[in-house]
Amino acid sequence: MSANRRFSKPRHVVVLDAPHVAYPPLTPDFQFEVELLLAVGRAGCNITFGRAVDYVWGDAVGVDLTRRDRQRDSRNKQPPWEVGKSFDGSAPCGNILPSTQVPQSWDSAAITLKVNRNERQRGDIGQMIWNVPEVVAQLSRQVALGADDLIYTGTLAGVGPVSPGVRLVAHIDGLPPLTVSITPMEA
């Protein structure tokens, strides 16, 4: 993982199983990314690849909402990506299942996202650039992980724009789906 591709989101932007997220200010280019979400169960840093899954307590479907134009501006100017990635409601999160209740090991699982019933993202967790142990181990080298931290693991091809009135349905085999409707910008 290159450091310029990592960003953080404060806890208050996470919306747990919330049915609605408001379109954010400062963007005409608001986009979705379906992701596997990992709930960290215990603190650690410099975690080895072989022990990485021991630090994951649970799993969920997540959607990383992005002000893509602000992200592009940051990428071009080299400041942090937070202006594009971290804003109120930018991290919808489905119901978290304890990893012991998840039927697979994340070597392979279908992952999809529909926008108003039209499939926009489809792939397999096994196609991700970094697997779960690699994500946890590498991230723990960059920052100490805390119990209750959430890690969004990255997305696959097919990201795209959303607008008020759009309904997103994100799904990963073995996990409860996440449904989010985008509402008009709050005044």
Q: pLDDT digits over 159-177, tens only?
A: 999 999 999 999 999 999 9
Reported as a single tens digit per residue, the pLDDT across 2-40 is 333 567 788 889 998 878 999 999 999 999 999 999 999
Domain range summary for the chain, segments of one domain joined by +: 3-183
The CATH number of 3-183 is 3.90.850.10
What is the pTM assigned to this prediction? Answer: 0.90
With tokens 């008020």, the residue in question is: 164
The phi and psi torsions of 44 (rounded to 5 degrees) equal -175, 160
Distance CA 82, CA 7 (A): 6
Q: pLDDT at position 4, please?
A: 37
Among residues 171, 11, 90, the alpha carbon closest in space to that of 179 is found at 171
82 pLDDT tier (thresholds 50, 70, 90): low
